[in-house]
Amino acid sequence: MVSISSDVIRGYNDTMILSILMNEPSYGYNISKQIKSISDEKYTIKETTLYSAFNRMEKNEYIESYVAEADPETGAKKRTYYRITDKGIEYYKNKCDEWDLTKDVIERFIEHKGE
């Protein structure tokens, strides 16, 4: 069974998270579910990976956090939201460019079936 190894995705967890935050601020559990869903269940980010990415990115000022208190009406629990910063947007765009370059290079060393 072919599955995605952490060494491969390494360095792109941050990018995936930021890509979701490009749309709107969100929080851990929701981001995790979105990543799973967008990837058609092909990739599930580990909880610890996710939260350590939050810490790293907040330290780097790619994201900012704010706390939303629990709302008994909607049933929402108290949670920490993250919002992407301008620096984060910049970083995200850079990673996208880097991805295009990297993909192109790695492809040259890959054999595809039926070639």
Partner DNA sequence: TATATTTACTACATCAGACATAGTACGCCT
Partner DNA sequence: AGGCGTACTATGTCTGATGTAGTAAATATA
Binding site for DNA (CB under 7 A): 5-7, 9-14, 27-30, 45-49, 51-54, 56, 70, 72, 75-80
Residue 115 binds which of DNA, a copy of itself, none (CB < 5-8 A, kind-dependent): none
Q: How far apart are CA 90 and CA 84, in angstroms?
A: 10
Q: How far is the CB of 73 from DNA (least distance, A)?
A: 9
Q: How far is the CB of 55 from a copy of itself (least distance, A)?
A: 17
- Sign of the CA dihedral running 29, 31, 34, 35: negative
Q: How far apart are CA 99 and CA 111, in angstroms?
A: 19
Residue 101 binds which of a copy of itself, DNA, none (CB < 5-8 A, kind-dependent): a copy of itself
Residue 79 binds which of a copy of itself, DNA, none (CB < 5-8 A, kind-dependent): DNA
CA–CA distance from 111 to each of 25, 63, 107 (Å)?
A: 40, 38, 8
Residue with tokens 């990837």: 39
Q: Which is nearer to a copy of itself, 8 or 70 (CB)?
A: 8
